[in-house]
Structure 1
């Protein structure tokens, strides 16, 4: 690959990032703007032009999956040898390597969960909190450790920071102290201690610092808005005063402040590094103008000083749908119906997600999807390669690869092997058996893809081992159910944002202005996960027949056509669906500007933006309107105005949803004229 090849296909801002091969560089990258593309091409360009050796690059990400994706993209650009790891993985590797030399003895063992040690610490102080409380205490300890707060200082500093611990702060401090004593006594390290010890070893042993700094000279840090003080300490220690650092982040997506993360390192980067190159990526290639317009509107009232306003690059799509339901069960059924519609129109189940604020909200959707026989998977549950059926399958495939029969096609061999542990031609009806089948089917599809490229069983096993290391799970054909936090960094064709009521989003314990603003950004993250279809809903009551005391999220004020809270005018109810449809914000499908004029809203575009419509269709609609007006003995404009007919000719609706998406066409007019209009738009004769 020639150096110029690494710049091919980049937009002007992405190219500016790629050409800024020397640090410091700060990339403010909005959702869907191609940040990974920009930074991988930057690394590739730097390597190709001789600025840096690939082995001297350390790219730091926040998830193993993101690290795997970054390495895969670099391999696609012909760059091999770049180290892409999470903060913890990079630090643990260094700590384990240098420990015998500078400390002596076996390196400490990593403790995956704080709960077992916390249970013991609680018993030692004669306290018996439940596991839910202990999980919250563990979160407090993690916050304290990443912000460098000691057990004795925790009570005072927790109050100062506005923390709300599950038990008195003094008791948290005592449990924190007991936990740390047990951890040290048993030669254990948790994820925070890994970072702390690595920085300490480099600080206290200059030869270690020299060796690490000689190895890594070129740093890239993704999701920089989520860096916490302990991670920043380690990063500064790695750098050792050098400034070949490129950071990438989006202040609009700061959603982890509760765990100690802070966006100030991103927003203050140019102050810390006065010579920094700062590039803003705002061209959104992920979502339609309608989704992008809503995302921008969500943040329009935000107090984010460095807000990035996205500019849509994709063609026009359907308007977001807002649905108010009587209760949570009705809301879940509404989502199921809509999912079935999308599936019938060819949207794959794996390209649909239902996102909620807290994991407890998943139950209603798990039940509704199971009853409907729709496949689903819970995001944030057990990792794919840790599932029992996947581990069993990998063992069997590994054994078969050692004695592989080259005469048997790969896909057939894999189907034969997986058939022995539950892979059938048709999926089971639901439940655990369906989840197990989906996992095995994902492995079989991966084998089919590899077979098409000429791969064999050993190649499949090697691919599975690579994916397991990078936590790069093959896609499973099921609707994703997950929390808004767990959805960060992901995207789907269709997204359902559910349970959006005040008290849930913003969550009830978000009390300070800063906490409320973070909840707003969480909604923004949810909106920007959608490529094309976006469905926003809430329920007025928890259970059928319950008191309808809930109100839609305050963040939806002005976005649905009705204000939330007391005094809100009740929109007309669609009793068959058990929900209320309220007006959606309408954006120009050409330039994404919010439309306010009635005529422009009906057309779905600014009056000055170019139109492209079927003149023959418009004429047929006018002929039909004349006939319908005579039959109903009303003026033609009462049936539909000229602007509405032109909007139909431009947008050519072929489904009920398409037609109702045109401003000015409500349920009454649809029931009266919808069938005839859709027939004409589908190519039928005028009757």
Structure 2
């Protein structure tokens, strides 16, 4: 028989068709997609953000946590509620013989774990197993592999630990780092020859990634020429940055280079806005790979709809878009009733809400919705007055009134959406500073013209996030936004080592020419902010830089620390001592015991 070539999930599907009966379920199950899953979750609970619940349940399944385990582990009320929804969801899909995407891995694992004979039989059927992109596997995929290797150790995995960039969606770098501990008699073969990039590019990529501790360790060796040196652009702001890149790209195109050989990469999608604006003005054709143009993103379209209502209350289309964003309990039925009344009276919905008494409105939409709509109306009227008084104060008042940005706090892709909102708020503020005599309607007209980019027939320059660039290569690469907070992303929940791996991936997309760019100021959290250049520029040996000091409350073996007298050292041992840590530190051969309050972590 020919070998089986498939994804983990496809394997799970084939397996379940044969062995679903092992779980007391029929094999005529139906696979549900993400939308089906969200609809089911919404029918169980309408209060908690559905995408958050869906993401948490997926996380639980991929780390083998049952609903009862999730319940007992939950500390906060939110996660206790999610665990309850998880339990009801599992009951519902089992009763209706449905299988979600995560079940395609979880159910085969459960079947094999509970049936030793079947595990042996399946393992014998697949005598040799090969896995590609092993650094992107998660806990459940590893456990499934262990089951398939019940009777043998004929397993070969290929992967690059330095390109493990999907920790946020459950992938664990530990699978590849600990492979030789997980499986006996392992042979490790390092593939260090690189056929893509020039020596110069590889040299700086190597220097950057060597700052990571969690890695097997390898050094890419080029098989091509040394190549040109890497350019680093320092700009005042994102507009100057864009101008430099546009000029460079025009020169490349004039020199006969192909647009398909040029790419611009960024860590945060919001940075595409100034690039898009600059490219539109310069008449350069571009495509956003794996992403959406800035003004087409849902959160930006919502804000534009809000601002349109503030300038024109008769805009029914915009009103219907945002009347329940953020959620305020106004569903489709209520909107349909309002629209029907609007058509009947030939009046815009907003005018109706204004003109009808609370009692009349209650008769159409019910008491609770009537009260909500009257509050919405009053807020819009207040904001209109604030715009007339102060355009700069208006944005803060808008956010205070609607908590629009905050509505993305607990959403899986909330960081990106909030970054887009921040970029948009910042752009509006800048617009009013530069054009104090213009109004909000002028701003809306300007961006409407800007986003109407005519279609070109010729080849396009690629713009994309670094995540979207993985696996691709371009002769000419520009990486923008190399500032602390943008790349690397910093703060709570940020993983600096994964950020550095993203830097490594970004640099190694370039074949011939690479340009890195940082600015002194761009929009951060909705306001123009002075930024520090990224530590990655000095770590990769591209500019002389100082060490970045991180304030931290925990210390572990291997951490680099700085002491005022003894200088830099590496932690050999760490033990809790009251509020501090007692550290054994090696300062270049001299070992000393010092409390953590006397050192700073590098």
Q: Same fold (TM over 0.5)?
A: yes
1:316 aligns with 2:236: no
Deviations 1:403-450 (A, max 9, x none): xxxxxxxxxxxxxxxxxxxxxxxxxx9968738x67xxxxxxxxxxxx
1:491 aligns with 2:412: no
Aligned equivalent of 1:141, options 54, 57, 77: 57
Relative to structure 1, the CA distance from residue 99 to residue 325 in structure 2 (aligned partners, 3 Å threshold; closer, same or farther) is: same
Aligned to 2:532: 551
The Cα of 1:204 is off from its aligned counterpart by 4.8
Give RMSD over aligned pairs.
Answer: 3.5
- C-alpha contact (below 8 Å) 2:537/2:543 kept by paired residues: no
Relative to structure 1, the CA distance from residue 188 to residue 500 in structure 2 (aligned partners, 3 Å threshold; closer, same or farther) is: farther
- C-alpha contact (below 8 Å) 2:124/2:151 kept by paired residues: no
The Cα of 1:510 is off from its aligned counterpart by 4.9
Q: Give the distance between the partners of 1:185 and 1:363, measured in 2 at CA.
A: 47
Aligned to 2:484: 502
Aligned to 2:455: 434
Q: Give the distance between the partners of 2:548 and 2:189, measured in 1 at CA.
A: 44
The Cα of 1:267 is off from its aligned counterpart by 2.0
Could you say what secondary structure the match of 2:233 adopts?
Answer: strand
Relative to structure 1, the CA distance from residue 280 to residue 169 in structure 2 (aligned partners, 3 Å threshold; closer, same or farther) is: same
Aligned to 1:86: 7
The Cα of 1:337 is off from its aligned counterpart by 2.2
- C-alpha contact (below 8 Å) 1:327/1:541 kept by paired residues: yes
- Structure 2 runs not aligned, ≥5 long: 293-449, 550-602
The Cα of 1:104 is off from its aligned counterpart by 6.2
Aligned to 2:402: none
The Cα of 1:526 is off from its aligned counterpart by 0.9
Aligned to 1:527: 507
Matches within 5 A, 1:576-587: none
- C-alpha contact (below 8 Å) 1:100/1:106 kept by paired residues: yes
The Cα of 1:375 is off from its aligned counterpart by 3.0
The Cα of 1:511 is off from its aligned counterpart by 4.6
Matches within 5 A, 1:326-337: 326-337=236-247
The Cα of 1:517 is off from its aligned counterpart by 1.3
Q: Give the distance between the partners of 1:260 and 1:532, measured in 2 at CA.
A: 34
Q: Give the distance between the partners of 2:520 and 2:24, measured in 1 at CA.
A: 60
Aligned to 1:293: 203
Deviations 1:377-424 (A, max 9, x none): 332249xxxxxxxxxxxxxxxxxxxxxxxxxxxxxxxxxxxxxxxxxx
Q: Give the distance between the partners of 1:292 and 1:122, measured in 2 at CA.
A: 49
Deviations 1:72-99 (A, max 9, x none): xxxxxxxxx4433221122223323554
- C-alpha contact (below 8 Å) 2:522/2:530 kept by paired residues: no
Question: What number of residue pairs does the alignment pair up?
Answer: 390
Q: Give the distance between the partners of 2:282 and 2:88, measured in 1 at CA.
A: 49
Aligned to 2:179: 269
* TM-score normalised per structure 2: 0.58
Matches within 5 A, 1:67-216: 81-99=2-20, 105=26, 107-113=28-34, 117-118=37-38, 121-122=41-42, 124-125=44-45, 127=47, 129=49, 134-154=50-70, 168-204=78-114, 209=119, 212-216=122-126
- C-alpha contact (below 8 Å) 1:218/1:245 kept by paired residues: yes
Q: Give the distance between the partners of 2:211 and 2:123, measured in 1 at CA.
A: 44
Relative to structure 1, the CA distance from residue 258 to residue 372 in structure 2 (aligned partners, 3 Å threshold; closer, same or farther) is: same
Q: Give the distance between the partners of 1:158 and 1:312, measured in 2 at CA.
A: 50
Relative to structure 1, the CA distance from residue 93 to residue 368 in structure 2 (aligned partners, 3 Å threshold; closer, same or farther) is: farther
Relative to structure 1, the CA distance from residue 342 to residue 138 in structure 2 (aligned partners, 3 Å threshold; closer, same or farther) is: farther
Q: Give the distance between the partners of 2:218 and 2:466, measured in 1 at CA.
A: 20
The Cα of 1:305 is off from its aligned counterpart by 4.4
Q: Give the distance between the partners of 1:236 and 1:226, measured in 2 at CA.
A: 16
Q: Give the distance between the partners of 2:17 and 2:496, measured in 1 at CA.
A: 41
Q: Give the distance between the partners of 1:332 and 1:175, measured in 2 at CA.
A: 47
The Cα of 1:271 is off from its aligned counterpart by 2.5
Q: Give the distance between the partners of 1:510 and 1:309, measured in 2 at CA.
A: 31
Deviations 1:345-380 (A, max 9, x none): 333222222221133333333333334333333322
The Cα of 1:111 is off from its aligned counterpart by 2.3
